[in-house]
């Protein structure tokens, strides 16, 4: 399975993401620069974390309006899987490809630590390697991860099983509504999540709980 990683000025977990995808799929992803209007044929497009354009405006707001985003939208409409992690999630929300908004953390501080995630829906292209209800470890590192949607949308997210991850066991690090850590679009091929699974995929990271997301999306067998 082929993948691509989007690179925008200010993103800084692109190298982590490239390393993770390479390690898990055995194949280096294609790097796609922000000005490109065409994305090569891949099965998974990843928008990694960071501070695109410094996040001096609302997080992800400028990036969401770059040429490459139109290309990503077309690919998503054609059924290609798109994963946005952290700033990538914020960009997808700003681009209107996922519902909701990511506000400043309730603590008003950047937070980097390990939290627990509940896999709320294991029946997605990104979570098949897990079981519904499974609790996994995962690090977070963000300043604006406080997810919010109005009640109607929240209900439709719940009804459509679009909430994929929730912070579990009282570890909600940012005040997110309903402990939401990751949501998928209605079609199920665009996932946004605040935590960083790419930083927990091998022994050096102290565990590999994050591996299943990439293994699922790349349809490779999750290594133990």
Any idea which residues carry the catalytic annotation? 86, 196, 198
Near other proteins in 26-85, by CB under 8 A: 50-51, 53-56
Binding residue for other proteins, selected from 26, 112, 155, 156, defined by CB under 8 A: 112
Q: Which lies closer to other proteins via its Cβ, residue 75 or residue 211?
A: 211
199-221 residues labelled b (16+ CB within 10 A) or e (exposed): bbbbeebebbbbbbbbbbbbeee
Q: Does 156 bind other proteins (CB under 8 A)?
A: no
Tell me whether residue 98 or residue 140 sits nearer to other proteins (CB atom): 140
Asked whether position 89 contacts other proteins by CB under 8 A, the answer is no
Give the interface size with other proteins as a residue count (CB under 8 A): 27
CA 160/CA 36 separation, integer angstroms: 33
Is 141 a binding residue for other proteins by CB under 8 A? The answer is: yes
Work out whether 187 is an interface residue with other proteins (CB under 8 A): no
- Closest separation in Å from C-beta 186 to other proteins: 32
Q: Which residues form the interface with other proteins (CB under 8 A)?
A: 9-10, 12-13, 15-16, 19-20, 50-51, 53-56, 109-113, 139, 141, 143, 196, 198-199, 204-205
């Amino acid at each position: 399975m082929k993948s691509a990683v989007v690179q925008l000025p200010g993103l800084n977990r692109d190298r982590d993401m490239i390393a993770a995808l390479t390690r898990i799929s055995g194949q280096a992803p294609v790097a796609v620069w922000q000005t490109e209007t065409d994305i090569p044929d891949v099965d998974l497009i990843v928008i990694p974390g960071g501070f695109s354009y410094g996040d001096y405006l609302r997080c992800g707001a400028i990036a969401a309006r770059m040429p490459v985003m139109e290309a990503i939208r077309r690919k998503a409409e054609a059924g290609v899987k798109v994963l946005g992690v952290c700033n990538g999630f914020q960009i997808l929300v700003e681009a209107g490809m996922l519902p909701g908004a990511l506000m400043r953390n309730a603590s008003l501080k950047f937070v980097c630590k390990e939290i627990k995630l509940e896999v709320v829906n294991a029946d997605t292209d990104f979570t098949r390697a897990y079981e519904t209800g499974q609790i996994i470890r995962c690090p977070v590192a963000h300043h604006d991860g406080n997810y919010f949607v109005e009640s109607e949308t929240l209900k439709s997210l719940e009804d459509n099983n679009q909430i994929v991850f929730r912070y579990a066991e009282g570890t909600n690090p940012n005040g997110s509504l309903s402990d939401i850590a990751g949501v998928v679009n209605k079609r199920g091929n665009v996932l946004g999540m605040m935590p960083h699974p790419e930083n927990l995929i091998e022994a050096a990271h102290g565990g590999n709980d994050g591996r299943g997301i990439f293994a699922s999306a790349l349809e490779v067998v999750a290594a133990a």
